[in-house]
Structures are given as structure tokens and as C-alpha cells.
Chains A and B, each alone.
Chain A
Amino acid sequence: MRILNRAKKNFKPGILIILSVVVVPLFSTLVRAQATLNDAVTQLNANDRGQVELGIQNLGMRGDPSGIKPLADRIRRGLPPDLLELSIMTLMALGDPSAGPVLFELAMHRRANIRVLAIEAVAAVNPPGGQGVLVAALSDGDAEVRSKAAAGLGEIGAVGAMDTLFRALDRGVLEASEAIGKVITANRVTDLLDYLNKLPLHSLGPALIQALGRGDVQTKSKLAIVERLGEVATPEVKNYLVDFLAQHGETAPPALVRAVRNTIQQIAD
């Protein structure tokens, strides 16, 4: 239970992995003896706030996807905001794609913070149809929802969402930059480089670093990126390239490393 509360405060996809892979199964073994699914569902359906909270936590501790349906039903019957947040985090922790439909519904909740959580959960669980929901959320009225949606699309590697991510970048959703770096294909690298004239480098940098570091992007494309960065030739570019060498210098193709080093040398401090 404490773990869930902590997850509520500092949720990061990494925590989800810890929860779902390590902690939840461990605790679920311990809890299973104490709270059966029926017990948890009974608590969930009680007309008492404490009991409902306990029911949600017990479903999470059980780590069993069979808890998703009763939890989804309970969400649809209406919960106060804090219990709703806890429920979404529990769905994330359970990590099963069957949570998709209820998470999609919550991605349209009137509270922006609920939508943020739901989008994070969709990205984490990646249920069928999730990409469409994340793409739609790029048009949300709330900036945080949009940025989480962009990040989520990067996480799930939504290549099909690249055009929308570019549009989002045009409209100032800067998180779309990193996502583009994650999903960009070689034939779209030129499009990305065009943005060097439109956006400040710190907005585009994450995309370029991501693209340079990716194994599935051809060296030719990466060299084009470095060449274009060399034309920009600002101290900021130099810093980016230095960082790149520090992170990927040993694994990157020698031609790329050489090009990066040359570019760094040509840029004045």
C-alpha cells in the first residue's frame, strides 16, 4: 500500500516497471492469503470511502489482471478524485491491456490531472487502440496532457503518429521533439532538420540526440544531421555533440564519430 501511495506521488514509467515486475508479484503472494478477489471486490463496492480505498489497494497488491474488470466497473460508477487517481495508478501497476477501454474513457475525463494519468497509463500499458488515443490527446486543451501524449507516443514507438507529432511540434508541443527522435524514419530526417530553422535548438535537441543514438537509423542520415548541425554551429550545438560523444562515442559508427569530432572542432567556444 505504501508503494502505491508513493507511486501516486512520483509516478514515472520506471516505477511502473518496478511495480509490475518486481514488487507487485512479491506482495501479491503475501496478500493473496489475506485478500481474495471476492474480498477486494466486496470492499470496492462498499459504501464507505476507507473500504473502497482498501479494495483498490488490495486489487493492486494482488497483481492479478482479473481485478481490472471490477475496478473498471467501480471507476465507471464514479469515484472521488483521489480514489480515481489511485485506481488509475493501480491499473497501470496491473499493466494489463484489458485496462485499455476504461483508460480510454478516462483520457476524456473533465479533470486534466486525471487525463494526464490516464495518458501515462495508456502509454505504459500500450493496449490495442492506445496509439489513436495518444494521438487524439495531442490535441487536448491542456498542455500537460499534450506533452504526456507526445512522450507516450515516443515510448510506444508510434511511427504512424509521426506526422501528427510534427504538427504538434509546429504548435509548440516541445515534448514531441524527443518522441520524433524515437520514431523517425530515415526518409523523414530531412523534415526534422528543416526544424533547425524554425525552433530553438534546445527544443529540437532531444529529437536529434535520439535520432543520432538510434541503431535503426542509417549512418548516412546521422551524418546528414551532424552536417546540418555544423551549419548551425552554435555553442549549444557543440555542447549537444560533446554530450553525444560522451554517451554514444564508443558504440557509434566510426564515420559518425569522426564527423562529430570534426564538427566540434570547427565550432568556436
Chain B
Amino acid sequence: MSRHHLSRLHGLQTFQYAVFSTIAAPLLFSACGGAPAAFSASYPDNDRSDIQLLIKRIQRAEEREIRSLAVGVTPGPSKLYAFDLKAQRVLWQRPTRTSITPVVAGDYVLTHEGSDIVGREVESGDSGFEIDDRNMTLVGADASEQLLALTLTKGSSSFADSAVYAIKSRSVIWKREFQGRVGSPAVIGDVVLVPWNHQNLSALNAKSGDEFARIRLKDNVVGHAFVHANKLFAGSNRLIFEVTSSLSSGLTRKSPYFELPERSLPGDPLLLPDVYSPDPIQPPDSGRHRIALGWRPAVVSLPGKSRIELQDNNLYLLFYRFVVAFEPATYSVRWIYTHPTDIVGAAVQAGGVLFADTTGYVGFLSATKGEKLWDATSGLTSSVITLRPDPVSQFSVTSESLRPDQLRGQLMVAVRDPDARLVPVRVLVVELLAALDDPESTSNLIEICDNRDATEQVKRAACQALAKRKVGADQVLDTLKRRANYLDGTTSPPVGALAQAAAEQGEKRAVALLIGHLKDPQTPAGELPRLVSALKQLQDHSAVAPMTDFLRLYHADAAEPQLIEALCESIDALIALSGPACAETLKEIAEDSMGSQAVREKAHAALQLLEQQKRAAEQLEKAKQAEQQAEAEQAQEEATAPKPEMPKRLSQEVVREVLLPVRDQMKSCLRKSPDRVFSARVLIMVDNGETSLVSVMPASLQRCIEPLVRSQKFPVTQLFGKENVAYTITLR
């Protein structure tokens, strides 16, 4: 296979070409009144018609044909190899000095070896072309319909220089250079899409390299353009979006998009690598290959609006030896797979995720359960493996998700893993267990919290979660029954967390067990403060005596800070449980010159508090008494005050006075009457002040006048019996 040392062979030509393309060509175009050169600052952006043209050209693109393979780099002596995933055979191996992870684009595998960007043919591993890097580094590459586009860059911000190369049939057919940072390109149909300077996405004619459309994003960074299922996407660290005509607004969210939730995942992996960092593509031996996200976009068309979802609605986190499938919107875990060795490459395809490990082993996990459905091995130890999955073929994957007990089993396998590097995920797994609202999860948390060999961070997370449990009281009680016993070979359980869980659940059955642990010298001092606090929270009076004994026995013998803390906590607990009844004990503690200073001060403060409470109670009592006294005096005054004189009988004068408040309303009844009535007569029977009968003439006014009459209170008269009175209403 012939080699093409393009830049070296044509150094002068390259320079002349560069001068032409960066200086002369734009001048020529502008002089002729044509469009500005590619990446020129004066190129119009977000032009609706330009972008619509771009979309049309994208839509005309043909589907790519992709061969599924794995390309890896072995550690010293470094070899680059390709492994055919379908045929399950190593296609070729070649010595390599690549400083970057191989990039697979179309029919080429790109590496950066010495000062050359080398393009090897996928089928043979032979060099197809070499390009002088000119001290730049490869940022990205893509290929379609025999055209390969690659981008190079060096420097940072405004001092950066970048280049875009288009290669066809092993030859550079055009090159564009500009000042600024370039991102990772995409090729679709006859269009090359190039992200650059964080905000811009330039569409170049694949044949000529001329820019014909530019999108400038106002709300997000863009570093990558990529093609999937014949659709064009772009994005950056946390967000991807489809390139559609809506982007003429400059707003990414006007187009279908997917964004990572705010919450970070262990290791803070990115959706797409940061191409604007000094190392856009990591070296083969970088540890960052072991922490990554796996995903593939899936555009869902809805009436009126489309949106981007992830393939199988899974976001995969690869973390050393774990593969975790998350529901992307909430990060709730669907499954977790634990692999025996480090995973150094992964790619998502329909129905699951393909992964590769350091031994050259490649496996496929189902999207729904994380079951291994397929595997193969190259047998080549690898630092990194780039996987290109088969976009068409699919494994038969069950649609059933894991049962809760199966998920719990997977979580527990992960959390028990002793690998210290996996701690962040194991802590996350503990949080996931804590989110499961069942007693079995409480048992799991107890197991982790109780494991003396567990990593401290994992154990701490489990104990914290256990302390907040609202279910699983029986599990908590069973564990609290255990005591340290040398002959039985048992140890003290994590009393503090269990005590808090019992308190959280208001589980008074725990009180006796907790008192047992309070008295047990094998209960670590560190557990005592939370134990005492739980006893206080449980509000069970049976804890008063043992807590008093505990306080008295150790108040002069407390050397450990945690014991002092527990003693101080017990003072609070005694006040909460027994109030002023504990004053005598507290006085004894506060005044003991041999007692621990901290405990004495606490007792003293508690006594002051009790005193304040006592004074406040006394004042309250005094105020109450004064109020009662005032009420009694008032009652006395009322009793002795002269009563108003009762009328002798219900005279017309008395009746008029009683009905005066409703007189106008009664007249209104007359006015509203359809019978044109000018007067009405009301007969009222009053029995000891109670109106027992109201009769109205004419009867048509009865319903209007009776309630008004009954609403008034007639006085009790000296007759103390029934009285009939008549009252006349006239309109005058």
C-alpha cells in the first residue's frame, strides 16, 4: 500500500495553499462580491434560508454502511489492532506510537504518531495517508460517502490555530485554516459540519470546502457535530441537539434536545468530551477511559414537536468495573452490572450496550436487565478500545425490567465489592438502596452499616441512610438484640444508627434494647450520643432511671469526648422526659467539684433552663389566677348589680319598641306585595318572652313578616305567662 506524505511532499505548496485559502481566497471572493471565506468573522450567521438549505442537503444524504469492529491499543510494546466483532477475529495488528486514543472514521483508523496524523485502512491496517500535524493535535474526524473530514488544533482561545482537512481517495482535496479553536466535525451527504470557537457551527460544501451556512448559538457551547441514523446532531459536555431549521433562532432548545440532569454522577463524566480542553482526545493509557457515559440519541417525533430520547431510555455509566443503566431524566437505576476487570470502551446499540475490557474481552449487556447476551474476545490486553457497534442488527431483548429483589441483589453485589476505586458508585448504590421503601432494603443498609470491613465512606453513607429509615422496624429490633460477646464471636451492632432509625419510626419496643446497650461497656462511645438522643426522642419514661444512673456514674469519669457528649445529651434527655423532677440529680452533678467540667456546665445550664421554665410557669399561673379572679369579680358585680325592671305586661308601647328594628322591613313586605296591601295586622302569642305564634292578616304576607317578628326578643313580663298582642303595620 503506497504512503502519501502529503504535507511533507508538498511543504511549499501547502504553504502557498494556506496563504491562498486564508488570505487570498477571502479577498478574491469579497472582491468578486461572493460569500466570505469559511470561518471568516464576517460570515452572516443564523440566516434562515442558508439553514433551510443545509437541512435540505442533510435530508438528501444516504444511510451510512458501518462495519462493526473494535479498535484497541495494547500496552507496551504498543500495538494498534482491529477486531471484527461479527467474525470474532483479529483483522490486523500494527506497532504504534499513537499519543491519542484511535479514532474510527469511515474506512480509516486515525492515530497521532510522532508528528503525523496517520490514517490506516480499517480492513488492512495499512497506512492510507499521513498528515504533518504542524504541532497541532487531532480533535475529531468523521466520514461518509468516501469523504473523510478531520480537524486539528493548537493553542488556546484567541491564540489558537485550527485546520479542517477533507480527504478523499487518500488525498487532501481541500483544507481550511483559521484562528480559533475547532471542534469535532461530522460529514453527512455532501456537507461537512464544523463546530468552532464554542458557539459556531459552520456548514461547508464537502466538495469545495466553501461555507454555505452558519449557525451561531446564543445559549450553549457546541464542540461536537455527529451523525446518527442519518440525522445530524451537535452538542457539548452536557447537552445534545438535532440540527434543524429552528436553530436559526440561535437557541438550541428550539430544536429537539437532550440535556443531562443537574445532579452529577460519580466521576463527573461528560456526555461528550470537552474538545476545547488542551487534550481533546485522551492518550490511550488515560484513566479517563474508565469513567464515561454511554448513550445513543433517538429522535421521537411527536405531533407539533419532536424530542430527543436516549436509546432504550438508558444512560449508561461506565465506572472502572461497573456498568450502571440509569433512567436519564431522574438517574434512577435500572440495573447495575459488575465486571471482573476494568472496562476501557463501550458503545450503545439498540437493545443494550457493548463494552470491552482490558483483556480484550467484548460483551453485550441487555438494556432492560443488564444480562450478558453475547461475548467475544480478541485475547489482546488493551489500554483502550474504541467500539463501533453494528447499527442494524439487534439482539433479542426482553422488555421486562428487573424485579425489585433482583435489582437489590445487583446493588448488593456492587456495594460489597472491595475495590476502593469504586467507592463513589458504591456510595451512590447505598443512596439507591435508601430510596427503596421496603424492609429488605433496611436489612441491606444494616448489613453495610454493620460491616466492620466496609470502606469507611460506604459504611458512613449506609449508616446515615439507616438512621433515616422509616420502614423495617423488625429488622432494626432484631439487630438491636445482638450484643458483643467474645465467646459467641459476636460484635456490637451499629447502635447509634439503629437507635436513630427506631426513633424515626417511633418504635418504643426498642427502648429496653437501647437501655441494654447504654449499660453495655462494649457499646462504642461513639454510638452513645445518638443512642441517648434516640431515647429522648422516643419519649419513654422507663429510660429516665437508667439514664440518671449513667449520668451519675460517669460524670466524674469521662475522658472520651464522645462519652462527654453522651452525658450532655443525657441531661437534655432527662429534662425532656422528666422535667423538673431531674433537678435534684442535675444539681448534684453541677455542684460536684470532681465532675467533668463540660458535664457540670451543661447541668448548670440545664438547671437555669429549668428555673426559667419554672418562673415562666409561675408567671403563667399567676396570670391565670389573676384572670380567674377578675372573672369572679365581674360575675360578682353582675350578680349584685340592680336588675332592670320587668314590664307589667306587653303593652302596645313595649311591642312597638321590640319590633322597631324590623319595622321598615315589615313595611317593605307590604310594598312588595302583589295584592297592593296598605296595612297588615299581626297577632303575636308570647309565652314568658318566647314567641310561640305569629299570625299575619292578610295571609299572603305571613311568609315575609313572620320571620321578622320572630327575629326579635320580647321581654318577660311580670305576668309570667302567655300574652296575646296585636300589632298593625300601615304604609303611611
Q: Which residues of A are in contact with B by a Cβ distance under 8 Å?
A: 47-49, 52, 75-81, 83-84, 108-112, 115, 138-141, 146, 164, 167-168, 171
Contact = CB atoms under 8 A, between A and B. Distances in A.
A76 B552 contact: yes
B487 A168 contact: yes
Contacts of A77: 552, 588
Nearest to B551: A78
Contacts of B554: 78, 110
Nearest to B491: A141
Contacts of B485: 139
A141 B484 contact: yes
Nearest to A106: B553
Given A47-B591, A110-B521, A79 B487 contact: no
Contacts of A79: 556-557, 594
A78 to B, nearest CB: 4
A183 B486 CA distance: 22
Interface string B547-561: 001001111110000
Given A78-B554, A78-B589, A110-B521, 14 more contacts: A47-B593, A49-B593, A78-B553, A78-B594, A79-B556, A79-B594, A80-B556, A83-B594, A108-B521, A115-B521, A139-B485, A139-B487, A140-B521, A141-B522
A146 to B, nearest CB: 6
B520 interface: yes
12 contacts: A48-B593, A75-B553, A77-B552, A79-B557, A108-B520, A108-B521, A109-B521, A109-B553, A110-B563, A139-B488, A141-B486, A171-B486
A83 B148 CA distance: 88
B519 interface: yes
A108 B519 contact: yes
Contacts of A78: 552-557, 589, 592, 594-595
Contacts of A140: 486, 521-522
Nearest to B599: A78
B486 A84 contact: no
Given A47-B591, A78-B552, A78-B556, A139 B486 contact: yes
Nearest to B560: A110
B487 A167 contact: yes
Nearest to A141: B522
Contacts of B549: 76
Contact of B486 (A83, A109, A115, A146): A146
B377 to A, nearest CB: 49
Contacts of B522: 140-141
A48 B556 CA distance: 13
A52 B553 contact: no
A83 B595 CA distance: 12
A122 to B, nearest CB: 15
A84 B556 CA distance: 10
Contacts of A141: 484, 486, 521-522
A48 B594 CA distance: 8
Contacts of A81: 557
A151 B648 CA distance: 107
A119 B224 CA distance: 76
A80 B486 contact: no
A164 B486 CA distance: 12
B487 A47 contact: no
Interface string B347-369: 00000000000000000000000
Contacts of B525: 110
A79 to B, nearest CB: 6
Most chain A beta-carbon neighbours within 10 Å: one of B486, B525, B589: B486
A26 to B, nearest CB: 31
B9 to A, nearest CB: 81
Contacts of B589: 78
A138 B552 contact: no
B557 A111 contact: yes
A259 to B, nearest CB: 35
Nearest to B593: A47
A47 B588 CA distance: 10
A49 to B, nearest CB: 6
A258 B591 CA distance: 71
A47 B489 CA distance: 44
Contacts of B555: 78
Nearest to A136: B485
Contacts of A112: 521
A63 B457 CA distance: 56
Nearest to B585: A77
A101 to B, nearest CB: 13
Nearest to B489: A171
B568 to A, nearest CB: 15
Nearest to B555: A78
A54 to B, nearest CB: 14
A76 B555 CA distance: 11
Contact of A47 (B520, B553, B563, B592): B592
Interface string B238-267: 000000000000000000000000000000
Contact of A164 (B487, B520, B553): B487
Nearest to B487: A139
B594 A49 contact: yes
A109 B563 CA distance: 13
B593 A80 contact: no
A76 B486 CA distance: 27
Contacts of B552: 76-78
A109 B518 CA distance: 11
B553 A76 contact: yes
A93 B325 CA distance: 71
A172 to B, nearest CB: 9
A78 B570 CA distance: 15
B598 to A, nearest CB: 14
A168 to B, nearest CB: 6
Interface string B487-523: 1110000000000000000000000000000011110
A112 B557 CA distance: 13
Contacts of B594: 49, 52, 78-80, 83
A109 B521 CA distance: 6
A119 to B, nearest CB: 12
Nearest to A114: B557
B561 to A, nearest CB: 14
Most chain A beta-carbon neighbours within 10 Å: one of B489, B563, B592: B592
B514 to A, nearest CB: 15
A80 B487 contact: no
Contacts of A168: 487
B714 to A, nearest CB: 77
A76 B589 CA distance: 12
Most chain B beta-carbon neighbours within 10 Å: one of A79, A108, A110, A168: A110
Contacts of A83: 594
A80 B520 contact: no
Of all A-B residue pairs in the complex, the 9 with the closest CB atoms, nearest first, are A139-B485, A78-B556, A139-B487, A139-B486, A110-B521, A141-B522, A78-B552, A78-B555, A80-B556
A214 B485 CA distance: 32
Most chain B beta-carbon neighbours within 10 Å: one of A48, A79, A167: A79
A153 to B, nearest CB: 13
Contacts of B557: 78-81, 84, 111
Nearest to A171: B487
Most chain B beta-carbon neighbours within 10 Å: one of A83, A112, A141, A168: A141
Interface in B621-669: none
